[in-house]
């Protein structure tokens, strides 16, 4: 099956076999026909619940296990936000991030199209996710990482036994080059913002919308790097509007790490296109894309929904990460904590004035994050005989 594509910017149409980027320079997304779509009656919990809005392929193995993540209330965070806070916890996907949604669709489509090898350009979550889904489907997986990736992160990817190449050179060029080589060598590359990945990632927003139906949250706040996920969330609500299930789209806010914030900087300048930056070190390394392929599409989404793009620094990210654990019970990756850090800043600036419900998408689990910082733990040592007194003293 060849997949129909459409350009959000100029309306051009094509099919996947002809390439993933339009002549106008913008990425394509999968063309869908949402008219007549209704919330499903089925008890299906995975993202394939929304198969009517997905490419017509059959998921097996791990592909059938992505999505269906919890949306939890975090009442102790309400005060800092000035609205009811809901957290979409993507850490409960099979490999711990929302990346599984895109891999699920991308790998199922590759199987359907007769590919024997899939590939991705990633140094972390996307690589783990693609390697896992390929392993489950019995496909070979080629992972292209930057040459200087920390050994701990490579070890997590290697567990799923893909072929890993450490590539020297510009990461942005590697992204485009891989798609080109993939077409020539029949490797189905599923990269950060390729159409099938974005198609799968739409389902984060479909799940949020269905949970609130027939109401809507006022705002959705999520971390952004390549812009693939952000553009997918926008697309999901456009489809629901076309289907007549919503009349409005929540304000979409996209958060970057200050150390590498090309989209937020373009937003500040009121530009329509993103200029690449020289990114620096940050605890939120998973969202440090200096040359985001869907940056322009995210700017368009923020503008169209009355939202915005902003950047937060590492101190604010670590504070938010701590609050998500200690006040909401959620153990998230530093990159994901930018959602709360960004929402706090927006609330301070009055952006949420009059809002009732704000959804934070925490994109990944913190349990994979072994290389960030050594915690200082306050735990008194006490002899068994003194335990009674110690508890009285500590707990009051």
Binding site for Zn ion (CB under 5 A): 7, 9-10, 12, 22, 24, 26
Helices (H), the chain: 78-81, 99-112, 125-137, 151-158, 171-185, 195-212, 228-242, 262-268, 295-304, 314-328, 334-348, 387-395
Cα distances from 352 to residues 80, 122, 342, in angstroms, run 11, 34, 12
Q: For the packed helices 195-212 and 228-242, what is the interaxial angle rounded to 10 degrees? A: 60
| Residue 211, C-beta contacts closer than 8 angstroms, at least 6 positions apart | 71
Q: Say which entry of Zn ion, ligand PLP, none residue 334 contacts (CB below 5 to 8 A, set by partner kind).
A: none
Select 30 or 243, whichever has its Cβ closest to ligand PLP. 30
Residue 294 CB, nearest approach to Zn ion (Å): 13
- Is residue 342 a contact residue for ligand PLP (CB under 6 A)? no
Residue 287 interacting with ligand PLP (CB under 6 A): yes
Helix, strand, coil percent values for the chain (each to nearest 5): 45, 15, 40
Q: What is the closest distance, in whole angstroms, from the C-beta atom of residue 354 to Zn ion in the complex?
A: 36
Residue placing its CB nearer to ligand PLP in the complex, 83 or 130: 130
CB 196 within 8 A of CB 102: yes
- Alpha-carbon distance 296 to 274, whole Å? 6
**333 forms part of the interface with ligand PLP (CB under 6 A):** yes
Q: Which residue has 């949306």 as its token pair?
A: 71
List beta partners, residue 360: 87, 221
Contact between residue 315 and residue 260 where contact means Cβ atoms under 8 Å apart:
no
Q: Which x/- pattern, by CB under 6 A, does the window 243-272 give for ligand PLP?
A: ------------------------------
**369 touching ligand PLP, by CB under 6 A:** no
Site string for ligand PLP, 158-197 (x = CB under 6 A): ----------------------------------x-----
Q: How many Å apart are CA 144 and CA 180, to the nearest integer?
A: 14
Which residue, 20 or 334, is less far from Zn ion as judged by CB? 20
Q: How many residues bind ligand PLP (CB under 6 A)?
A: 20
Q: Does 286 bind ligand PLP (CB under 6 A)?
A: yes
Per-residue contact flags (x/-) with ligand PLP for residues 57 to 96, judged by CB under 6 A:
----------------------------------------
Which residues 98-137 are close enough to bind ligand PLP by CB under 6 A? Answer: 99, 125-126
Shorter beta-carbon distance to Zn ion: residue 74 or 300: 300
Residue 227 interacting with ligand PLP (CB under 6 A): yes
Cα dihedral 223→224→225→229 (10° resolution): 110
Which of 182, 200, 228, 295 is in the footprint of ligand PLP by CB under 6 A?
A: 228
Q: What tokens does 60 get?
A: 């097996």
The token pair at 126 is 């996307």
Could you tell me which residues come within 8 angstroms of residue 112 by beta carbon, excluding any fewer than 6 positions away?
1, 57, 58
**End-to-end alpha carbon distance in the chain:** 66
Q: Min. distance of Cβ 102 from ligand PLP in angstroms?
A: 8
Tokens representing residue 110 in the block: 């590759």
Of the pair 82, 293, the CB lying nearest Zn ion is at 293
Partner in contact with 12, chosen from Zn ion, ligand PLP, none, beta carbon below 5 to 8 Å by kind: Zn ion
Which of Zn ion, ligand PLP, none lies near 195, with the C-beta cut-off 5 to 8 A by kind? none
**Which span sits near ligand PLP by CB under 6 A: 81-89, 220-228, 233-241, 343-351?**
220-228
Q: Whose Cβ is closer to ligand PLP: residue 55's or residue 230's?
A: 230
Provide the binding-site residues for ligand PLP, judged by CB under 6 A: 97, 99, 125-126, 192, 223-230, 286-287, 333, 335-336, 363-364
């Amino acid at each position: 099956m060849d997949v129909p594509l459409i350009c959000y910017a100029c309306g051009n149409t094509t099919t996947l076999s002809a390439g993933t980027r339009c002549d106008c320079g913008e990425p394509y997304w999968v063309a869908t026909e949402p008219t007549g779509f209704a919330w499903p009656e089925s008890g299906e919990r995975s993202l394939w619940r929304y198969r009517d809005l997905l490419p017509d392929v059959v998921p097996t193995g791990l592909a059938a296990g992505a999505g269906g993540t919890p949306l939890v209330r975090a009442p102790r965070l309400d005060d800092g936000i000035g609205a009811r806070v809901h957290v979409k916890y993507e850490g409960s996907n099979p490999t711990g991030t929302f990346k599984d949604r895109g891999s699920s669709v991308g790998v199922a489509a590759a199987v359907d199209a007769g590919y024997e090898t899939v590939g991705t350009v990633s140094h972390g979550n996307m690589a783990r996710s693609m390697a896992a889904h390929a392993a489950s489907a019995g496909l070979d997986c080629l992972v292209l990482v930057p040459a200087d990736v920390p050994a701990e992160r490579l070890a997590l990817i290697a567990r799923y036994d893909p072929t890993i190449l450490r590539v020297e050179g510009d990461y942005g060029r590697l992204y485009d080059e891989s798609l080109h080589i993939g077409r020539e060598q029949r490797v189905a590359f599923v990269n950060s913002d390729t159409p099938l990945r974005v198609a799968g990632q739409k389902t984060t927003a479909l799940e949020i919308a269905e949970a609130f139906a027939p109401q809507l949250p006022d705002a959705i706040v999520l971390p952004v790097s390549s812009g693939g996920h952000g553009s997918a969330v926008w697309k999901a609500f456009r489809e629901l509007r076309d289907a007549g299930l919503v009349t409005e789209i929540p304000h979409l806010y996209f958060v970057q790490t200050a150390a590498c914030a090309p989209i937020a900087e373009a937003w500040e300048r009121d530009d329509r296109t993103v200029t690449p930056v020289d990114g620096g070190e940050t605890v939120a390394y998973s969202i440090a894309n200096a040359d985001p392929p869907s940056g322009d599409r995210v700017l368009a989404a923020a503008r169209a929904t009355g939202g915005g793009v902003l950047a937060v620094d590492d101190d604010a990210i670590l504070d938010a990460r701590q609050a998500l654990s200690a006040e909401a019970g959620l153990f998230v990756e530093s990159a994901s904590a930018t959602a709360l850090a960004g929402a706090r800043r927006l609330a301070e600036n009055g952006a949420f004035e009059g809002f009732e419900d704000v959804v934070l998408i925490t994109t990944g689990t913190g349990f994979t994050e072994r290389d960030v910082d050594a915690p200082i733990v306050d735990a008194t040592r006490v002899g068994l005989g003194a335990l009674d007194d110690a508890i009285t003293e500590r707990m009051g």
